[in-house]
């Protein structure tokens, strides 16, 4: 890709591990990131970063668009990338103030605040992708391989680990009550204590779903 004269290229990478190394070392303001990288893909690169730069995703496959915009990406370019598409991307960045001194940091803060927590969750069902508003989720429950997503009317399977979900969910909205369970606070109807001191959560769904809290996470419920 040919970049404008005011853009300095500080590093390049050919796979996921080297991309991660370059981003960590140079801490660029902006990264053009291929989704289908060898080693691990672009989404995995972002998940491994402590602080994420502004991202423009590049890929040869448009089916990744939905997942790309669930991250902090500000644009999405399909290969082969032509000069006009690249020019439009930089025009968009300049309209956002990216070219002004100090504004890359301000833009980063804006993106951080707007995308810090998940607003929607995509769940694949056969050849369909179901988009759930995060408020529709009653609770998440994981086993050794997958995470189950429960709503008032359906349940789904996703491959996102519970610990990763917990980091992307607003802690004011979702709390962990067990090593394998995250609950949407808005769906909690009541908290009951059993004769042996264990806490049980009863949800507001039609089935009045009951979930047991482990002693190690009981304090999360007591703080509600």
* Mean pLDDT to the nearest integer, 79-106: 69
Check: CB of residue 221 under 8 Å from CB of residue 201.
yes
**CATH topology assigned to domain 120-222:** OB fold (Dihydrolipoamide Acetyltransferase, E2P) (2.40.50)
Confirm whether 16-115 and 120-222 share one CATH topology: no
3-state helix, strand, coil in the chain (%, to 5): 35, 30, 40
Intra-chain end-to-end CA distance of the chain, in Å: 52
User: What mean pLDDT value characterizes the chain?
Assistant: 82
- Say what the pLDDT of residue 153 is: 92
If you search the block for the tokens 């591990």, which residue do you land on? 17
pLDDT given for residue 30 in this prediction: 86
Strand partners, 183: 139, 175
pTM of the shown model: 0.52
Where along the chain do its domains lie? 16-115, 120-222
Q: What is the pLDDT of residue 8?
A: 80
The fraction of the chain above a pLDDT of 70, given in percent, is: 82
CATH superfamily label, 16-115: Response regulator (3.40.50.2300)
Q: Is the pLDDT of residue 4 over 70?
A: no
Residue 173 structure tokens: 């909205």
């Amino acid at each position: 890709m040919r970049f404008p004269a005011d853009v300095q290229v500080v590093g390049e990478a050919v796979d996921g591990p080297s991309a991660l190394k370059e981003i960590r070392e140079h801490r660029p303001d902006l990264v053009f990131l291929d989704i289908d990288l060898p080693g691990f893909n672009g989404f995995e690169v972002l998940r491994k970063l402590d602080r994420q730069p502004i991202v423009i995703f590049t890929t040869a496959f448009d089916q990744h668009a939905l997942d790309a915009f669930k991250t902090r990406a500000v644009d999405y370019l399909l290969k082969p990338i032509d000069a006009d598409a690249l020019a439009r991307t930089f025009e968009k960045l300049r309209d956002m103030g990216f070219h002004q001194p100090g504004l890359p940091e301000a833009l980063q803060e804006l993106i951080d605040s707007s995308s810090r927590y998940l607003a929607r969750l995509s769940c694949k069902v056969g050849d369909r992708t179901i988009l759930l508003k995060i408020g529709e989720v009653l609770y998440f429950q994981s086993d050794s391989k997958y995470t189950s997503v429960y709503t008032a009317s359906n349940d789904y399977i996703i491959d996102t680990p519970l610990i990763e979900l917990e980091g992307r969910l607003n802690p004011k909205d979702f709390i962990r009550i067990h090593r394998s369970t995250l609950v949407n606070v808005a769906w909690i109807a009541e908290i009951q204590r059993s004769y042996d001191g264990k806490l049980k959560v009863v949800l507001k769904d039609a089935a009045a779903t009951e979930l047991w809290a482990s002693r190690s996470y009981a304090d999360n419920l007591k703080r509600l």
